[in-house]
Structure 1
Amino acid sequence: MLLLLGMGAVLLLSSGGENDAAEDARAESATPTATPTNTLTLTPLEAALQRAQAGVTRNADWEPFVQEFDGVEMVLVPAGCFMMGSENGDDDETPVHEQCFDEPFWVDRYEVTNEQYGSIGCEQWSSEPDQPRNCITWFEARDFCEQRRMRLPTEREWEYTARGPSNWVYPWGDDWDGANAVESGNSGNQTAEVGSIRSGVSWVGAMDLSGNVWEWTKSVYENYPYGPDDGREADQGGSTDVRYVMRGGSFHNSTLNLRAANRSWGNPYFEYYGLGWRCARSLE
């Protein structure tokens, strides 16, 4: 007689001396039937988020991941730590200090373009649809990102996106190479199509973090060490009595100004033909 105890488990019962012993021996030596299991298959996005939340300690440990949000490509920046600032730059880049991110975040792969914004800024320097939108105030940049349900990147997010946990001097590494950026030596005194210099890509896949146009950040310009909770990342509303950090340098700059640690600033109404922005979003 068969008595079913549950999936994959069967107990054999019978009567009659020697048959009992034989049946028991066969039952003990039988290979148990494997219980089927459901294998969880992660989507590429889920797998990337899992890796990003685990964090990285070297730039080489991260494989760039790009995702579209409402038709705009963004790159995933994993959790991790880096050393913010530089001892080989301006005084406002010191002291060098550690910054850590417990959660990943997203940053636009490219600077915001004329086409995305829907109008042209200073036409003489940036007139084509895929060139960065320039001559933008901080308020206009902030409002555009909010319309996309996003925000400007903070200063420390921007620098981490450019340098990574390996603390590179430039988005592509530690050595200067003007061929990796839209800079004073090759720009022809104007911006270039975003992403046109592929060799300047950062460790997370972001383009033009050095050169082309300076980029607004969310952060108020203050001395280091940088404290994310010291008020510099707080909403300043419509206040004009503040200075906001700009990063990355422009097509008018070279070498020192295009370092990932370099800082500049402007008041929220400041406009400049070498100034644009990109948006960011927190992990939701």
Structure 2
Amino acid sequence: MSISIGCAPQDEGSDPRQAYYDEPHVIPMGVPYKGPAIAEDSPEAVVSADECGRGRGIDPEGACVRLATREHEFGGMVQIPAGAFMRGDIPSRYDAGHTRERAYVQHAGQPLFQDHLPSYWIDGYEISRLAYAKCVDDGTCTLPVCLDGTDGRPTEAQIGTADLGAFPQTCVTHEQAQTYCEWRGARLPTEAEWEYAARGPEGWIYPWGHDFRDELGLALGPVGYDPLDISYFGLKGFGGNAIEWVADAYIDDANLSHYLGGKFRSETGPLARSWAAWKQGLCGGEDCELGQRYVVKGGRTGARAGAWQLAPGQSIVTLPTSNFEGDRAVAQHARLGFRCAADLEPEQPILTVPVPAVPLPLYRQEGKYDMFLAVAEVVNREEAVRYCSVLRAPGDPEELPEGGNGWRLPTLEEIREVALWFGGPGPFWAVEGAVEQTYVDTQTAEWGPVEANDDEPLMARCIRSH
């Protein structure tokens, strides 16, 4: 039985997979989607990538085929083709102004790095309340409760004429999400699997492309309800609706670690002190072990946040208005849901993506300098120097040479030479001390010194001479 949650009723004989999968099309902003029927014919063999578009894959015989689907009672899963893609998220500007007061990593999604995944299954949209309730009725799952004691249900105005059971199941802990997926014979997706399914091989910033949609609201709707929130592979709900748990533990510098030959943060540095103070506040001024933070995904495909799976018997004494990094997903939140993934069965034909990953530069040659595009956030002066010394860019030796790979903090004069690409306003650490843009305009901005003590949490970007 296939249930179309939150979608228009289907005609008898229509494609049941439309409940959780749409053939991706370029859709004008604000125009209701009335998608054409999916063509049954496709090229027998692929001659060029243009012949095998979005929502399709290459089978072992080289034919271009629609992505395989696997139904379950409350929707279905889509087979994501094996392929390479660029992970991560690059901000448009680096502003450390407000993190000087309370140190935290704003841009945990940077820098970019290439990853490769085998083919796998993933749900076409988030787990609905109705689907989760079936697991509760079975005695396997437990009732979800938000940190404020509510069940996170939308308001009557938000529900409107829709069925409450069609909305995403939120307020779940990471453990509850994992239990549900296991009950269904699946698992939570890894961060890489979630991101690849959301953005595809072309490095899209959002599931539907590179442009932000300002009509995308923050209120929850039925799963799969937004006709424009369709990813490269035709899946729904990655950009809007619920944000989602994934399997990975949250680490601030997880993406940055791909380019490091050693540690650069001090156990007594600005970030460590800030984190300890914030956590102590959650524990009512006492030291406590709250549990484990896991990655939360949603919106920008490469962005990363973290939320708590609280330890057994542990609670947050004082509910904060926001998370450590400024978002609201502290733990089981009224917008925090999930979807499931699964490994491919041995007998399932492996599909591959029809287009290669879009290559993106990771460091820039500008004049007589190489400039690495990743930035270390909330570092004191000593940590900034250490960061450059352990940096390992693409093409650098796998083993870090004694003395590093030549990366170093720039001088103020060198920053002025590459100002158009350096990315401000900062402040950043330079050889002379702290520097920042005095006027935030990429064409006319001037860089100059700014007063800061050596232990302040600023940013660091590294260069090296040719």
The TM tier, using the shorter chain, reads 0.5 to 0.7
Alignment of 1:1-284 (within 5 A): 51=58, 63-70=66-73, 72-88=75-91, 90-101=106-117, 103-118=118-133, 121-125=151-155, 128-179=164-215, 181=216, 183-184=217-218, 187=219, 191-222=220-251, 223-225=253-255, 241-248=291-298, 258-269=299-310, 270-284=331-345
Counterpart CA distance in 1 for 2:73 and 2:185 is 10
Q: Following TM superposition, by how much is the alpha carbon of 1:52 offset from its aligned partner in structure 2, in angstroms? A: 5.6
Residue 153 of structure 2 aligns with an amino acid whose one-letter code is E
Whether contact under 8 Å (2:56, 2:233) holds in the other structure is: no
Q: Following TM superposition, by how much is the alpha carbon of 1:267 offset from its aligned partner in structure 2, in angstroms? A: 1.1
Whether contact under 8 Å (1:94, 1:224) holds in the other structure is: no
Q: Following TM superposition, by how much is the alpha carbon of 1:62 offset from its aligned partner in structure 2, in angstroms? A: 7.8
Cα separation, partners in 2 of 1:76 and 1:152, compared to 1, 3 Å = same
RMSD across aligned positions (CA)? 2.9
Cα separation, partners in 2 of 1:84 and 1:50, compared to 1, 3 Å = closer
Q: Following TM superposition, by how much is the alpha carbon of 1:92 offset from its aligned partner in structure 2, in angstroms? A: 1.2
Counterpart CA distance in 2 for 1:53 and 1:168 is 27
Normalised TM-score (structure 1): 0.65
Counterpart CA distance in 1 for 2:85 and 2:211 is 18
Whether contact under 8 Å (1:65, 1:205) holds in the other structure is: no
Counterpart CA distance in 2 for 1:54 and 1:165 is 21
Normalised TM-score (structure 2): 0.41
Whether contact under 8 Å (2:171, 2:337) holds in the other structure is: yes
Cα separation, partners in 2 of 1:72 and 1:122, compared to 1, 3 Å = same
3-state DSSP class of the match of 2:201?
A: coil
What is the total number of aligned residue pairs between the two structures? 205
Whether contact under 8 Å (1:114, 1:132) holds in the other structure is: yes
Q: Following TM superposition, by how much is the alpha carbon of 1:241 offset from its aligned partner in structure 2, in angstroms? A: 3.0
Counterpart CA distance in 2 for 1:95 and 1:54 is 36
Whether contact under 8 Å (1:131, 1:192) holds in the other structure is: yes
Whether contact under 8 Å (2:107, 2:303) holds in the other structure is: no
Q: Deviations over 1:198-231 (max 9, x none)?
A: 111111121110121110000011223377xxxx
Cα separation, partners in 2 of 1:53 and 1:142, compared to 1, 3 Å = farther
Residue 80 of structure 1 aligns with an amino acid whose one-letter code is G
Larger radius of gyration: 1
Counterpart CA distance in 1 for 2:185 and 2:132 is 15
Residue 231 of structure 2 aligns with an amino acid whose one-letter code is S
Bigger proportion of residues as helix:
1
Residue 261 of structure 1 aligns with an amino acid whose one-letter code is G
Cα separation, partners in 2 of 1:87 and 1:62, compared to 1, 3 Å = farther
Counterpart CA distance in 2 for 1:141 and 1:135 is 10
Counterpart CA distance in 1 for 2:228 and 2:236 is 9
Cα separation, partners in 2 of 1:67 and 1:177, compared to 1, 3 Å = same
Q: Deviations over 1:219-251 (max 9, x none)?
A: 011223377xxxxxxxxxxx9632100000xxx
Counterpart CA distance in 2 for 1:240 and 1:64 is 42
3-state DSSP class of the match of 2:164?
A: coil
Whether contact under 8 Å (2:77, 2:121) holds in the other structure is: yes
Q: Deviations over 1:163-193 (max 9, x none)?
A: 11101111111111234x4x23xx3xxx101
Whether contact under 8 Å (1:194, 1:208) holds in the other structure is: yes
Moved more, 125-134 or 200-209: 125-134
Counterpart CA distance in 2 for 1:143 and 1:54 is 37
Cα separation, partners in 2 of 1:49 and 1:95, compared to 1, 3 Å = closer
Q: Following TM superposition, by how much is the alpha carbon of 1:84 offset from its aligned partner in structure 2, in angstroms? A: 0.7
Q: Deviations over 1:95-118 (max 9, x none)?
A: 2110001x2101111100010011
Q: Following TM superposition, by how much is the alpha carbon of 1:94 offset from its aligned partner in structure 2, in angstroms? A: 1.9
Cα separation, partners in 2 of 1:247 and 1:50, compared to 1, 3 Å = closer
Q: Following TM superposition, by how much is the alpha carbon of 1:151 offset from its aligned partner in structure 2, in angstroms? A: 0.2
